[in-house]
Amino acid sequence: MLRNESPSDPAPADVVMTGGTVHTVDSADRVAEAIAVAGGRIARVGTAGEVAPLIGPRTRVIRLRGRSVLPGINDSHLHGVWLGQMWPDLLMDQMAAGHHGGEPLPRLETAEARRGAILRTGELLASLGVTSYTEPGLGPGEDAGPSGCFGSAVLRDYADLAAEGLLRARVTALMLFGELDGASSLPGLLAGLRDFVPPADVPGRFRVAGVKIFADGIPPMRNAWTDEPYADGTHGGLLVEGGSETEAEALPQVPVALTMVGGRVVHEL
Protein backbone atom coordinates (compact mmCIF):
# COMPACT_ATOMS: atom_id res chain seq x y z
CA MET A 1 0.00 0.00 0.00
CA LEU A 2 1.39 3.38 -0.98
CA ARG A 3 1.00 6.21 1.51
CA ASN A 4 2.30 9.69 0.61
CA GLU A 5 3.14 12.03 3.50
CA SER A 6 2.98 15.78 3.04
CA PRO A 7 6.37 16.99 1.68
CA SER A 8 6.21 19.99 4.04
CA ASP A 9 5.95 17.88 7.19
CA PRO A 10 7.16 14.34 6.51
CA ALA A 11 7.22 11.76 9.30
CA PRO A 12 10.58 9.99 9.61
CA ALA A 13 10.67 6.57 8.01
CA ASP A 14 11.79 3.40 9.74
CA VAL A 15 13.73 2.23 6.69
CA VAL A 16 14.91 3.99 3.53
CA MET A 17 16.47 2.13 0.61
CA THR A 18 18.14 4.44 -1.84
CA GLY A 19 20.51 4.52 -4.79
CA GLY A 20 19.13 1.57 -6.71
CA THR A 21 16.32 0.44 -8.99
CA VAL A 22 12.93 0.15 -7.31
CA HIS A 23 10.43 -1.81 -9.40
CA THR A 24 6.97 -0.71 -8.27
CA VAL A 25 4.99 -3.01 -10.61
CA ASP A 26 2.13 -0.52 -10.34
CA SER A 27 -0.37 0.18 -13.14
CA ALA A 28 2.18 2.38 -14.90
CA ASP A 29 5.08 0.00 -14.15
CA ARG A 30 7.09 2.87 -12.68
CA VAL A 31 10.75 2.43 -11.82
CA ALA A 32 12.09 4.60 -9.02
CA GLU A 33 15.40 5.22 -7.27
CA ALA A 34 14.44 5.06 -3.61
CA ILE A 35 11.73 3.83 -1.25
CA ALA A 36 10.77 4.66 2.34
CA VAL A 37 8.93 2.38 4.76
CA ALA A 38 7.17 3.55 7.94
CA GLY A 39 5.12 1.42 10.29
CA GLY A 40 5.31 -1.57 7.96
CA ARG A 41 3.84 0.44 5.07
CA ILE A 42 5.38 2.06 2.01
CA ALA A 43 5.51 5.79 2.80
CA ARG A 44 7.10 7.15 -0.35
CA VAL A 45 8.63 6.00 -3.65
CA GLY A 46 10.60 8.32 -5.88
CA THR A 47 14.01 9.79 -6.55
CA ALA A 48 16.68 9.84 -3.85
CA GLY A 49 15.96 13.53 -3.34
CA GLU A 50 12.22 12.99 -2.96
CA VAL A 51 12.69 10.30 -0.34
CA ALA A 52 15.56 11.95 1.56
CA PRO A 53 13.28 14.20 3.71
CA LEU A 54 11.90 11.06 5.37
CA ILE A 55 15.32 10.13 6.76
CA GLY A 56 15.41 10.85 10.48
CA PRO A 57 17.98 10.23 13.21
CA ARG A 58 16.64 6.71 13.83
CA THR A 59 15.97 5.76 10.21
CA ARG A 60 17.86 2.73 8.94
CA VAL A 61 19.33 3.74 5.59
CA ILE A 62 20.25 0.99 3.13
CA ARG A 63 22.55 2.09 0.30
CA LEU A 64 21.53 -0.09 -2.62
CA ARG A 65 24.55 0.76 -4.81
CA GLY A 66 22.66 -0.10 -7.97
CA ARG A 67 20.87 -3.18 -6.65
CA SER A 68 17.18 -3.76 -7.31
CA VAL A 69 14.18 -3.74 -4.95
CA LEU A 70 11.22 -5.92 -5.91
CA PRO A 71 7.75 -6.28 -4.37
CA GLY A 72 7.24 -9.36 -2.23
CA ILE A 73 6.15 -12.54 -4.01
CA ASN A 74 2.65 -13.96 -3.45
CA ASP A 75 2.11 -17.72 -3.59
CA SER A 76 -1.55 -18.31 -4.45
CA HIS A 77 -1.51 -22.00 -3.43
CA LEU A 78 0.76 -23.11 -0.61
CA HIS A 79 0.16 -25.67 2.14
CA GLY A 80 2.11 -23.79 4.79
CA VAL A 81 1.65 -26.15 7.74
CA TRP A 82 2.41 -29.23 5.66
CA LEU A 83 5.52 -27.54 4.25
CA GLY A 84 6.71 -26.59 7.73
CA GLN A 85 6.14 -30.12 9.00
CA MET A 86 8.08 -31.69 6.13
CA TRP A 87 10.93 -29.18 5.72
CA PRO A 88 13.77 -29.87 5.01
CA ASP A 89 12.89 -33.49 4.21
CA LEU A 90 11.25 -32.31 0.98
CA LEU A 91 14.64 -31.56 -0.55
CA MET A 92 15.02 -34.24 -3.19
CA ASP A 93 18.81 -34.44 -3.04
CA GLN A 94 18.67 -35.10 0.70
CA MET A 95 15.92 -37.68 0.27
CA ALA A 96 17.92 -39.49 -2.40
CA ALA A 97 21.09 -39.61 -0.32
CA GLY A 98 20.70 -42.76 1.70
CA HIS A 99 16.94 -42.54 2.23
CA HIS A 100 15.20 -45.63 1.00
CA GLY A 101 11.69 -45.65 2.42
CA GLY A 102 11.10 -44.86 6.07
CA GLU A 103 8.33 -43.98 8.47
CA PRO A 104 5.85 -41.18 7.79
CA LEU A 105 6.13 -38.08 9.93
CA PRO A 106 3.98 -38.10 13.07
CA ARG A 107 0.62 -36.35 13.04
CA LEU A 108 0.60 -32.77 14.31
CA GLU A 109 -1.54 -33.18 17.42
CA THR A 110 -0.83 -30.02 19.40
CA ALA A 111 -1.02 -26.28 18.85
CA GLU A 112 2.68 -26.10 19.68
CA ALA A 113 3.55 -28.52 16.86
CA ARG A 114 1.30 -26.77 14.34
CA ARG A 115 2.56 -23.32 15.31
CA GLY A 116 6.13 -24.53 14.97
CA ALA A 117 5.42 -25.74 11.45
CA ILE A 118 3.84 -22.40 10.50
CA LEU A 119 6.81 -20.47 11.91
CA ARG A 120 9.32 -22.66 10.04
CA THR A 121 7.46 -22.01 6.81
CA GLY A 122 7.45 -18.29 7.55
CA GLU A 123 11.21 -18.22 7.99
CA LEU A 124 11.77 -20.19 4.81
CA LEU A 125 9.44 -18.03 2.72
CA ALA A 126 10.91 -14.79 4.08
CA SER A 127 14.38 -15.95 3.01
CA LEU A 128 13.02 -16.43 -0.54
CA GLY A 129 11.14 -13.12 -0.75
CA VAL A 130 7.66 -14.65 -0.45
CA THR A 131 5.61 -12.29 1.72
CA SER A 132 2.06 -13.60 1.29
CA TYR A 133 0.34 -16.87 0.49
CA THR A 134 -3.00 -18.65 0.38
CA GLU A 135 -3.67 -21.78 2.45
CA PRO A 136 -6.01 -23.53 -0.02
CA GLY A 137 -8.14 -25.65 2.31
CA LEU A 138 -8.32 -25.75 6.10
CA GLY A 139 -11.33 -26.78 8.12
CA PRO A 140 -13.59 -29.37 9.74
CA GLY A 141 -13.42 -31.72 6.76
CA GLU A 142 -9.81 -32.53 7.71
CA ASP A 143 -10.13 -32.53 11.51
CA ALA A 144 -9.50 -36.29 11.50
CA GLY A 145 -6.97 -36.15 8.66
CA PRO A 146 -3.80 -38.25 8.93
CA SER A 147 -1.32 -35.36 8.95
CA GLY A 148 -3.01 -32.86 11.26
CA CYS A 149 -1.95 -30.12 8.85
CA PHE A 150 -5.35 -29.14 7.41
CA GLY A 151 -7.93 -29.20 10.22
CA SER A 152 -9.94 -26.34 11.68
CA ALA A 153 -7.48 -25.96 14.58
CA VAL A 154 -4.93 -24.70 12.04
CA LEU A 155 -7.17 -21.73 11.26
CA ARG A 156 -7.12 -20.78 14.94
CA ASP A 157 -3.34 -21.22 15.09
CA TYR A 158 -2.88 -18.85 12.16
CA ALA A 159 -5.21 -16.27 13.72
CA ASP A 160 -3.42 -16.51 17.07
CA LEU A 161 0.03 -16.11 15.53
CA ALA A 162 -1.17 -13.14 13.49
CA ALA A 163 -2.69 -11.49 16.58
CA GLU A 164 0.58 -12.05 18.46
CA GLY A 165 2.58 -10.42 15.67
CA LEU A 166 4.51 -13.62 14.92
CA LEU A 167 3.18 -14.42 11.44
CA ARG A 168 5.92 -13.55 8.95
CA ALA A 169 3.67 -13.49 5.87
CA ARG A 170 0.18 -12.25 5.09
CA VAL A 171 -2.01 -15.35 4.90
CA THR A 172 -5.37 -15.89 3.22
CA ALA A 173 -7.17 -19.13 4.08
CA LEU A 174 -10.01 -21.06 2.48
CA MET A 175 -12.38 -23.21 4.56
CA LEU A 176 -12.62 -26.91 3.78
CA PHE A 177 -15.77 -28.87 4.64
CA GLY A 178 -14.85 -32.11 2.86
CA GLU A 179 -11.66 -34.15 2.81
CA LEU A 180 -8.59 -32.79 1.07
CA ASP A 181 -8.74 -33.86 -2.60
CA GLY A 182 -12.09 -35.46 -1.76
CA ALA A 183 -15.74 -35.24 -2.70
CA SER A 184 -18.03 -32.37 -1.77
CA SER A 185 -21.80 -32.18 -1.58
CA LEU A 186 -24.31 -29.38 -1.30
CA PRO A 187 -25.66 -30.65 2.05
CA GLY A 188 -22.12 -30.88 3.41
CA LEU A 189 -21.32 -27.35 2.28
CA LEU A 190 -24.50 -25.93 3.80
CA ALA A 191 -23.92 -27.79 7.07
CA GLY A 192 -20.36 -26.53 7.26
CA LEU A 193 -21.37 -22.93 6.67
CA ARG A 194 -24.11 -23.26 9.27
CA ASP A 195 -22.15 -25.01 12.02
CA PHE A 196 -18.56 -23.82 11.68
CA VAL A 197 -17.48 -20.36 12.80
CA PRO A 198 -13.99 -19.45 11.54
CA PRO A 199 -11.70 -17.26 13.64
CA ALA A 200 -11.96 -13.52 13.16
CA ASP A 201 -9.70 -11.87 10.63
CA VAL A 202 -6.56 -10.10 11.79
CA PRO A 203 -6.40 -7.04 9.50
CA GLY A 204 -3.32 -6.93 7.34
CA ARG A 205 -2.10 -10.37 8.39
CA PHE A 206 -4.73 -13.10 8.26
CA ARG A 207 -8.19 -13.56 6.80
CA VAL A 208 -10.58 -16.36 5.88
CA ALA A 209 -11.69 -15.52 2.37
CA GLY A 210 -14.11 -18.28 1.36
CA VAL A 211 -14.61 -21.99 0.75
CA LYS A 212 -12.48 -24.56 -1.09
CA ILE A 213 -14.19 -27.18 -3.29
CA PHE A 214 -12.53 -29.86 -5.40
CA ALA A 215 -14.25 -30.33 -8.76
CA ASP A 216 -12.02 -33.31 -9.48
CA GLY A 217 -8.91 -34.95 -8.08
CA ILE A 218 -5.29 -35.24 -9.14
CA PRO A 219 -3.55 -37.42 -11.75
CA PRO A 220 -1.44 -39.49 -9.30
CA MET A 221 -4.68 -40.74 -7.72
CA ARG A 222 -6.27 -41.18 -11.17
CA ASN A 223 -9.33 -39.16 -10.15
CA ALA A 224 -8.65 -35.99 -12.14
CA TRP A 225 -11.36 -35.98 -14.83
CA THR A 226 -9.40 -36.34 -18.06
CA ASP A 227 -10.18 -36.45 -21.77
CA GLU A 228 -7.68 -39.22 -22.37
CA PRO A 229 -7.77 -42.40 -20.24
CA TYR A 230 -5.25 -43.41 -17.62
CA ALA A 231 -3.23 -46.61 -18.05
CA ASP A 232 -6.04 -48.59 -16.43
CA GLY A 233 -8.62 -47.21 -18.88
CA THR A 234 -10.41 -44.91 -16.42
CA HIS A 235 -10.93 -41.17 -16.80
CA GLY A 236 -11.58 -40.04 -13.23
CA GLY A 237 -14.70 -37.97 -12.67
CA LEU A 238 -16.44 -35.17 -10.83
CA LEU A 239 -16.04 -34.96 -7.06
CA VAL A 240 -18.98 -32.60 -6.57
CA GLU A 241 -22.67 -33.41 -6.45
CA GLY A 242 -24.99 -31.06 -8.32
CA GLY A 243 -28.07 -29.38 -6.89
CA SER A 244 -31.21 -27.88 -8.32
CA GLU A 245 -31.41 -24.26 -9.46
CA THR A 246 -33.61 -23.55 -6.45
CA GLU A 247 -30.98 -24.94 -4.10
CA ALA A 248 -28.27 -22.98 -5.88
CA GLU A 249 -30.18 -19.72 -5.54
CA ALA A 250 -30.60 -20.35 -1.80
CA LEU A 251 -26.86 -20.71 -1.21
CA PRO A 252 -25.19 -18.10 1.00
CA GLN A 253 -23.11 -15.56 -0.90
CA VAL A 254 -19.71 -17.00 -0.05
CA PRO A 255 -16.65 -16.81 -2.34
CA VAL A 256 -15.66 -20.25 -3.63
CA ALA A 257 -12.27 -21.42 -4.86
CA LEU A 258 -12.79 -24.34 -7.23
CA THR A 259 -9.94 -26.71 -8.03
CA MET A 260 -10.09 -28.11 -11.56
CA VAL A 261 -7.23 -30.28 -12.81
CA GLY A 262 -8.27 -32.57 -15.68
CA GLY A 263 -9.02 -31.33 -19.17
CA ARG A 264 -12.54 -32.78 -19.16
CA VAL A 265 -13.63 -30.96 -16.02
CA VAL A 266 -12.31 -27.68 -17.42
CA HIS A 267 -14.34 -28.19 -20.61
CA GLU A 268 -17.51 -29.18 -18.75
CA LEU A 269 -17.45 -26.50 -16.06
State the chain's mean pLDDT as an integer. Answer: 89
Element (H, E) at 259: strand 256-259
Residue 97: half-sphere exposure toward Cβ, Cα within 13 Å: 6
pLDDT beneath 50, residues of the chain:
1-3, 5-6
- 105-149 pLDDT, tens per residue? 789 999 999 999 999 999 999 999 999 999 999 999 999 999 999
Identify residue 255 by its one-letter amino acid code. P
Task: Give the pLDDT score at 100.
Answer: 54
DSSP 239-252: -B----HHHHHTS-
Which of the 8 DSSP states describes residue 77? S
Count the helices and strands in the chain (H runs, E runs).
Answer: 8, 10
- 163-184 pLDDT, tens per residue? 999 999 999 999 999 988 888 8
Phi/psi region, residue 203 (left: phi>0; alpha: psi -120 to 50; beta: rest), is beta
The shares of helix, strand and coil residues in the chain, as percent rounded to the nearest 5, are 30, 25, 50
In order of 77, 94, 182, 243, the CA distances from 238 in angstroms are: 21, 37, 10, 14
- Does residue 211 contact residue 193 with C-beta atoms inside 8 Å? yes
Q: Spell out the domains of the chain, with CATH numbers in brackets.
A: 15-69 (2.30.40.10), 73-268 (3.20.20.140)
Q: Report the C-alpha gap between 120 and 114 in whole angstroms.
A: 10
The model carries a pTM of: 0.82
